[in-house]
Amino acid sequence: MGSASSKAARKLPKRSEIPSWTPGPAQKPDVDAARMEGRHNTRPLASGKKDAAILEDAKDPHFLSNLSQLGPVSVNQPLQPVRSAAAAKSRQLLENRMRSDQEEISPHTFRNRVSGPTLTFVLDQRKSGVSIEEVKNLANKHGVDLEKLESVSRYVNSVSIQNGSVVRTVGQDGEESVSVMAVWVEPSRPI
């Protein structure tokens, strides 16, 4: 705080010196000569190979110290595609999704290919205690072989809730949450 008179006055230099590398009023850079020089320079701006100019620069100790501070540089080769395992997996995933979407909208039905909700419905019907004939009809209706359905049902099942496992809790803010125990339920009548 305080007034301006209590602060130390800032002192600027009386005469500034012009750096030697800047052109003075009498020296004007020759713009046309610089343009012509740029046209005749056929050397690429960046390269992965050493030429005479690079070897000449390597003799300059200040340049070398600055380069060592930068560290090694990797040269990207623009014509070589980058292939990684993650990129290949992502590409395969996208191709599978596109193929699945094409199959979904095509007028032809594909045997043993169903959507997730349809598979859940068929598995629920299978374990709900319907007869073997009804399961066969349901599988045929959705284009699934009975053997394939049995093979899939060994490893995949729809969600089932254990009886008596529902727990309701009310938080301090009045929000209710429900927790249940999921179980693997086998069909009551094996096929």
Distance CA(180)–CA(160), nearest Å, equals 10
Length of the chain: 191
Question: Among 96, 150, 156, 147, which residue's Cα sits nearest to residue 120?
Answer: 156
Walk along the chain (191 residues) and give the pLDDT tens digit of each residue: 566 666 677 777 677 666 666 565 555 555 555 555 555 556 566 677 788 888 887 788 888 888 888 888 777 777 666 678 888 899 999 999 898 888 777 777 778 888 888 888 888 888 876 788 888 888 888 888 988 888 888 888 888 888 888 899 998 998 999 998 888 887 765 55
- pTM, rounded to two decimals: 0.42
Distance CA(126)–CA(76), nearest Å, equals 57
Distance CA(133)–CA(189), nearest Å, equals 11
Give the β-pairing of 176-179 and 182-183.
unpaired
Q: Do residues 176 and 169 make contact, with C-beta atoms less than 8 angstroms apart?
A: yes
